Each structure stands twice: as C-alpha cells, then as structure tokens.
Amino acid sequence: MSITPTERDAALALNMVLPGGTDWISAGDDAITQNAGKVAVKIQQMLLEIPQKLSADIVGTYRHLVLAAWQRNTRDYYTDIYTDSYGAPLKLIDYGATMPLLLDGKIHASVVPELDYAKTDGSTPFTEIFLGQSIRLREVRGARGHRLQYTSRNPANTETRPYFEVDASDEDYAGDVIAGYQCHVTGDGSTPNSGERVYWFLEAHGLEHTANANPDFEGWFSIGVSNRAELTERGKGRALIMDAGNRPGMAFHFYKPYIELQPNTAFTLDDRARPAWGDGAGVNHAARTVGTLIGAHPINMRREGAIGPRWQTQSNSPGASPETLNLRTRGTVEAPLPVQAGDRLSAWKSGTVYNVSPDHVHVPNGGTGPENLPFVTAQTLAVATEAFVEGTAQGTRQEIQVTPKGTTTLVTGLQIEEPEVAGDTSILVRTNKDGTTTQTRVKIGAPDSGGPGLRALVIPN
C-alpha cells in the first residue's frame, strides 16, 4: 500500500509524525512505505479536522490549505533603475507552511502581511502603485499640500511618456460636456446645479454643441470658473486668473464683461517669421512670414457699427495723459539698429476693404490674394530726416497724405519740417499753380507785408 502525493503533502503540512516519533521530513522513503497503511487513515482523519485546527480568530469556511508562506524579496521585480530602498514587495513561496484559503479562492485577511498592502477599506497604507507596463503612481508630500505623482516606469523610452487621457464614449460625442476636470471650492460633483456649487473647470464639449449658437464653436474646449448658486459668501463666483511666476498676469472676471491685465503686466505680440516645421506641407506646416495676416496686422478689431479703442488716464499731474507709442528701429528685436534718413517711424492710416477671406483674417496665398487687403486712402506719417545717432541726431518730419479724387495714389497735402533757411516756415503745402501741382514751403513775407508791424505768410511765385 502507498499514499498519494496529496496525502503526503497534507501530512507534511500538518507536521504529522510517524510511529515511533519520527518526523515526516527526516523519515526515509522506506519508513514512509512501511507505515503507509497506518498513516493514510490518520491523514484522512486530520484533513477532516482542519477547520477545527485553524486559529480561532480566523472566521470562515475553508476549501483547502496551500503550502506557502510570505517572504520579503531582496530585489524588486523591476531591476532597472529602482533600488532596494524603495522597498521590495512580498511574494508567496512554497516551503511547507500552511495558509488557509476561503471558498472563493481568496487569501484570508488574517494571513496577509500588514505592511505595504492596500485593503479594500483603505485601512492599510501604501506608498506607490504600478499599473500596466509603464504607469507609476505615488504620493508626494510637498509645499501647500500632498500630491499624486504620475511618472513613467520606463523613462528612457520616449513612447512611455506619462499622459493623462479622458475619452468620451461613442454615444457622448453629441452631448454638451463630454469629458473634463473640475476642482470644487464649494460643493462637489454630487451637488445639484440648483445648490451651492463653485468650481474651476477644464471641459471638452460635444461635436454638435455650440457656444452662443455659433457653428464655429462646435465641439469647443473651455476653461474657467462656474457658479451654480449664490447662497452665501462662499457661493459667489470668482475670477479666472492666468499666473506666471506666481504673479497674476491676466484676469477673466466672473461678473464683468472684460479681460483685465494685472498691474506691472504687458501684452507683447511677436510676429517674427518662422521656418516651416513638420513635413513642410499644409497651412499649419508652412513657413510663417510677416504679411500673411491682413497687412501684417496680428490684432484685428471688427464689428458692424462704430468701433474704437479707448484710453483714459486719471492723474493730477499736468504731464499725464493717454498715450500711444510707436517705435521704429532697423536690425532685429534682439539687436536693434538706428533708423536712416527717409525711414518711416509711424503711420496712422485710414481706408477701406472690398473683399474678405472665409476666416476674415488671413490674406490668401501667402499674402498675395485680393481678400482682406486694406486700401489706404489717407495717412499721417512720421519720417526720419537724417540717420539717427543716439543722443545727437534724431531729426523728423510729419506728413499728412490724402488721395486726390479719381485716383488711388497718396500725395502729401501738408508737411511739417524744421525750417533751416532764414525766411522759411516749418510748413510745406501742396499747391496748384496754373495747373501744375507741387509741394511748396510757406515763407515769411517782407516786414509790414501783412500790415503795419506784421509779416504775411507767403508762397513764392
């Protein structure tokens, strides 16, 4: 008679001894064989007594025992860049100890080590979680609060960069908000919209949802603050402020219909040329050159009716007033050079436009198309009259240009320039003498030419 492997394992697990007190492990095969008949019956009896032999603090019905125990690894499973200091996990090894399993195959909580293992009720702390092949989540304790850090477990692989992605289902594409992120100040996601709820949000909207019924805004993406009720002081909406360097830069007010630049903050626009990128094909990959926008005007304001910027200054100083400043140099933004004689320093232009492109902004064909082209019919120019030398030479003149009837060419109707010859004035006017149109400087007449004690302003014959 012999015993089965299952019976042998059970006897080993129960530390059963052979007749005469010999322990099972040290007994040779001959001794086991000689006592097989006796121990087989004993094994079957002990297997039936397993539930009673389990510790009293373990509650439940058990299917069988597994020959396993917990052992701390000396290295983590991931042996690339992580060291033992991160704490290697426990693993199950088979070396003859007993471990009860519940009927559903789960290990009973009483035999699971407490350290570093998370329980379903969250009572057991843990420091990090690995998900899939590349995601690593862990707690980081830092300034102004603790954070959930998301890093890659394979940082050397550029295709395993950490990303956070939220996907809408196929059925949600036409809805209002289909995915997003909310940070609540008052209330939470379970608070009804009729309740007090204030939050900051990043939200993506469905492909068939628009803002202000504008089809250009279908499937729009929004960022801002929302206030669902104003029941208490905490329920009032707050502004959305763009920060840079922990300094408020631009504010979007909740109740006020304007965007506000914060003190000591400037709006700077840089429209320098850029080379092509990507494959160089298509409008988004083509090289960018000045002039592809309307007359190289990156800022365009448009409405049906009157429009105009407003500058307002409050000050008790006589020298304070609203200002506009136009600066001109040669060279580049990083390395400006002095202007030369004849260079325009600034221009205030007026005119019209006859055609528009579909997007109302770009001049098609790299700035050569007829749409959105401005036709300037009057302008005021500031022009340099000499090569500038800082602190020494900065001569200028002012020109007022108009377009004569029946033409499309600007001419200078009035020019103001410092008189350099005795008897001259700073005024040059456009004159028509016997059908010949020229620009003539106004001179000072002879003494008493304007009456006793007065000089007349005259134009030479």
Residues 99 and 54 grouped into a single domain: yes
pLDDT of residue 254: 83
Residues 366 and 426 grouped into a single domain: no
The model's confidence at residue 382, banded by pLDDT at 50, 70 and 90, is very high
Higher per-residue pLDDT: 123 or 424:
424
Tens digit of pLDDT for each residue in 109-119? 555 555 455 55
Q: Is residue 191 in some structural domain? A: no
**pLDDT reading at 22 higher than 60:** no
Tens digit of pLDDT for each residue in 278-300? 777 776 677 776 667 777 777 88
Weakest mean pLDDT among 50-54, 353-357, 398-402, 427-431: 50-54
Q: How many residues does the chain have?
A: 461
Last residue of a domain, one of 354, 373, 400: 400
Residues 53 and 92 grouped into a single domain: yes
* C-beta separation of 374 from 367 below 8 A: no
**pLDDT reading at 96 higher than 50:** no
Q: Is residue 382 in some structural domain? A: yes
Residues 353 and 444 grouped into a single domain: no
pTM: 0.62
pLDDT of residue 28: 54
The arithmetic mean of pLDDT across residues 2-17, rounded, is 52
Tens digit of pLDDT for each residue in 244-254? 788 889 999 88
Q: Is residue 214 in some structural domain? A: no
Residues 29 and 109 grouped into a single domain: yes
Last residue of a domain, one of 90, 117, 144: 117
**pLDDT reading at 55 higher than 60:** no
**pLDDT reading at 350 higher than 50:** yes
Residues 381 and 451 grouped into a single domain: no
**HEC profile of the chain:** CCCCHHHHHHHHHCCCECCCCCECCCCCHHHHHHCHHHHHHHHHHHHHCHHHHCCCCCCCCEEEEEEEEEEECCCCCCCCCCCHHHCCCEEEEEEEEEEEEECCCCECHHHCCCCCCCCCCCCCCCCEEEECCCEEEEEEEECCEEEEEEEECCCCCHHHCCCCCCCCCHHHCCCCEEEEEEEEEECCCCCCCCCCCEEEEEEEECCCCCECCEHHHCCCEEEEEEECCCCCHHHCCCCEEEEECCEEEEEECCCCCCEEECCCCCCCCCCCCECCCCCCCCCCCCCECCCCEHHHCCCCCCCCCCCCCCCCCCCCCCCCCCCCCCCCCEECCCCEECCCCCCEEEEEEEEECCCCCCCCCECHHHHCCCCCCCEEEEEEEEEECCCCECCCECCEEEEEEECCCCCCCCEEEEEECCCCCCCEEEEEEEEEECCEEEEEEEEECCCCECECCCCCEECCC
Q: Is residue 88 in some structural domain? A: yes
pLDDT of residue 289: 65
C-beta contacts of 409-418 below 8 A and 24+ residues apart:
410/376, 410/377, 410/378, 410/379, 411/437, 412/439, 415/439, 417/385
The model's confidence at residue 78, banded by pLDDT at 50, 70 and 90, is very low
Domain ranges, residue 48: 5-117
Summary mean pLDDT of the chain = 77
Residues 101 and 74 grouped into a single domain: yes
Tens digit of pLDDT for each residue in 425-443? 999 999 999 999 999 999 9
**pLDDT reading at 409 higher than 60:** yes
The arithmetic mean of pLDDT across residues 391-404, rounded, is 97
**pLDDT reading at 207 higher than 70:** yes
pLDDT of residue 363: 81
Q: Is residue 453 in some structural domain? A: yes
Residues 19 and 107 grouped into a single domain: yes
The arithmetic mean of pLDDT across residues 36-56, rounded, is 54
Could you give the angle at which helices 5-13 and 36-48 cross, rounded to 10 degrees?
A: 60
List phi, psi (to 5°) of 10.
-65, -45
pLDDT of residue 447: 94
Q: Is residue 25 in some structural domain? A: yes
pLDDT of residue 164: 86
Last residue of a domain, one of 348, 370, 400: 400
Torsion of CA 68, 72, 78, 84, to 10 degrees: -170
**pLDDT reading at 160 higher than 70:** yes
pLDDT of residue 442: 96
Residues 35 and 102 grouped into a single domain: yes
The model's confidence at residue 12, banded by pLDDT at 50, 70 and 90, is low
The model's confidence at residue 136, banded by pLDDT at 50, 70 and 90, is confident
pLDDT of residue 211: 82
pLDDT of residue 118: 52
Q: Is residue 163 in some structural domain? A: no
Q: Is residue 358 in some structural domain? A: yes
pLDDT of residue 37: 60
**pLDDT reading at 92 higher than 60:** no
Residues 390 and 425 grouped into a single domain: no
The CA distance from 429 to 459, in Å, is 9
The model's confidence at residue 371, banded by pLDDT at 50, 70 and 90, is confident
**pLDDT reading at 36 higher than 70:** no
Residues 372 and 450 grouped into a single domain: no
The arithmetic mean of pLDDT across residues 341-362, rounded, is 91
pLDDT of residue 276: 78
Higher per-residue pLDDT: 266 or 367:
266
The model's confidence at residue 64, banded by pLDDT at 50, 70 and 90, is very low
Share of the chain above pLDDT 90, in %: 30
The arithmetic mean of pLDDT across residues 101-130, rounded, is 58
Residues 36 and 104 grouped into a single domain: yes
Total domains in the chain come to 3
The model's confidence at residue 313, banded by pLDDT at 50, 70 and 90, is very high
pLDDT of residue 61: 41
The CA distance from 347 to 366, in Å, is 24
